[in-house]
Structure 1
Amino acid sequence: MTTSQLDKTEINPVFNRAFAALKARAAGLGEGPVFVEPDLGLGALPDGSGVADALDQSRWEWLHEQLGLPPLPPHDLGEMVVPIAVFHVRYRAPGRRLAQAVLRARRDDAEIELPPAAAFDELFAPRTAFAASAALPPAYWGFERRPDRYPGLKVRFRLSPEHFIASGPGTDLPPGPVEIDFDDGEGFRSLNWGDEALVEYEAAGQQRIALRLQTPTGSLNAAFLFTVEEASAPPADEVAPVTASLAHEKRHYGGTRHVYYAWGNRSGRVQKPILLAEGFPGGAWANDIYDIFDGKTPGGWNPNAKLANELRDAGFDLIILIFGTPGAPIQGNAMVYLEALKWIRDQVGPSTEIAAMGGSMGGLIARYALCYAETHGTDIGNVTRMVTFDSPHVGANVPMAVQYTARFYAHRSHSFHDLLNYACAKQMLMHQVWYREDVEEEVVKEDYRRFYAELEAMRKDGYPTRPKKYAVSNGHLEGFDLVRPESHALTVRRRSGICAHYEAHLWFTANRAPQPRYDYADCWISDRPHRIVAYLKPSAGFFSRDGCAGGFANHVEKAKDALSPFGAFPEGYMTTGRNCFVPAYSALGVKWAGDAHQFKPSQHRGRTPFDDWYAPATNQWHCTIDKSIKEWVLGLFSRHAAETETLEAAV
Structure 2
Amino acid sequence: MSHEPRIDVETRAQRVEHSLTAEQIERIAEALGEQGVWFATPPTRQGQARTADTIWDLVGDRPHEGHTATGRAAVHLAEGHTELTRPLILADGFGYGPSDLDGLWRWFNAPYQQGTPGFLDQLRTMGIDVVLLGFDQRHTHIQANAAVAVTCVQRVIAERQGDDQLVVGGISMGGIITRYALARMESERVDHQTDKYFSWDSPHLGAWIPLVLQQLAYLHEALQPRSDGPGQAELIRSPAAQQLLWGWVGDADYSGPVMTSSPLRAQFLDDLRRVGGFPARPYKLGLANGVGNGAGPDLPPGTPVFDLDFDPLRLVARIQPDMGELQNVGTLRFDAPKWTSATSWVPAFDGAPGGTLDSWGQIAKAMDLPIQDRFRSSCFVPAVSAIALARDPFQWQSDLYEDLTDLPKDETLLDAFCCDTANAPHGAVTRTLAEWFLEQLAGW
State the TM-score, normalizing by the size of structure 1.
0.59
Q: How many residues align?
A: 414
Q: 1:68-467 counterparts in 2 under 5 A?
A: 143-146=39-42, 151=45, 231-265=47-81, 267=82, 269-281=83-95, 283-295=98-110, 303=114, 304=116, 306-348=118-160, 351-380=163-192, 382-410=193-221, 411=223, 415-435=231-251, 437=253, 440-444=255-259, 445=261, 446-459=263-276, 462-467=277-282
Distance 2:320 2:249 in 1: 12
Higher normalized strand content (fraction of residues): 1
> Residue 262 of structure 1 contacts residue 313 of structure 1 at CA under 8 Å; is this kept in 2?
yes
Shift in Å, 1:594: 4.9
> Residue 144 of structure 1 contacts residue 558 of structure 1 at CA under 8 Å; is this kept in 2?
no
Distance 2:200 2:55 in 1: 24
Aligned CA RMSD, in angstroms, stands at 3.0
Distance 1:427 1:591 in 2: 19
> Residue 490 of structure 1 contacts residue 505 of structure 1 at CA under 8 Å; is this kept in 2?
yes
Distance 1:596 1:491 in 2: 31
Shift in Å, 1:11: 8.4
User: Aligned partner of 1:531: which letter?
Assistant: W
Distance 2:246 2:162 in 1: 38
Distance 1:401 1:40 in 2: 17
- CA distances 1:280-305 after superposition (whole Å, capped 9, x unpaired): 12512111111221247xxxx65436
Shift in Å, 1:580: 0.3
Q: 1:350 to 1:270 in 2, by over 3 A?
A: closer
SS of the residue aligned with 1:241? Answer: strand
Distance 1:325 1:341 in 2: 19
- CA distances 1:242-291 after superposition (whole Å, capped 9, x unpaired): 011222122221101111111211x2x21110111000125121111112
Query: Structure 2 residue aligned with 1:587, among 368, 383, 386?
Result: 386
SS of the residue aligned with 2:363? Answer: helix
Corresponding position of 1:556: 360
User: Aligned partner of 2:206: which letter?
Assistant: G
Percentage identity across aligned positions? 21
Query: Structure 1 residue aligned with 2:437, among 618, 629, 633?
Result: 633
Shift in Å, 1:605: 4.0
Distance 1:13 1:339 in 2: 50
Q: 1:404 to 1:286 in 2, by over 3 A?
A: same
Shift in Å, 1:401: 1.7
Shift in Å, 1:349: 6.2
Q: What stretches of structure 1 of length at least 5 have no aligned partner?
A: 1-7, 23-35, 42-57, 66-137, 152-228, 496-500, 642-651
SS of the residue aligned with 1:519? Answer: strand
Shift in Å, 1:456: 1.9
> Residue 295 of structure 1 contacts residue 626 of structure 1 at CA under 8 Å; is this kept in 2?
no
Corresponding position of 1:191: none
> Residue 144 of structure 1 contacts residue 554 of structure 1 at CA under 8 Å; is this kept in 2?
no
Distance 2:14 2:64 in 1: 39
> Residue 77 of structure 2 contacts residue 128 of structure 2 at CA under 8 Å; is this kept in 1?
yes
Shift in Å, 1:603: 3.2
Distance 1:594 1:532 in 2: 24
**Is 2:416 the partner of 1:612?**
yes
Shift in Å, 1:378: 2.3
Corresponding position of 2:4: none
> Residue 524 of structure 1 contacts residue 530 of structure 1 at CA under 8 Å; is this kept in 2?
yes
Shift in Å, 1:627: 1.8
- CA distances 1:388-411 after superposition (whole Å, capped 9, x unpaired): 100000100011121122221235
> Residue 138 of structure 2 contacts residue 240 of structure 2 at CA under 8 Å; is this kept in 1?
no
> Residue 9 of structure 1 contacts residue 37 of structure 1 at CA under 8 Å; is this kept in 2?
no
Distance 1:375 1:40 in 2: 50
**Is 2:304 the partner of 1:533?**
no
Q: Which has the larger radius of gyration?
A: 1
> Residue 364 of structure 2 contacts residue 371 of structure 2 at CA under 8 Å; is this kept in 1?
no
Distance 1:340 1:13 in 2: 50
Shift in Å, 1:481: 1.4
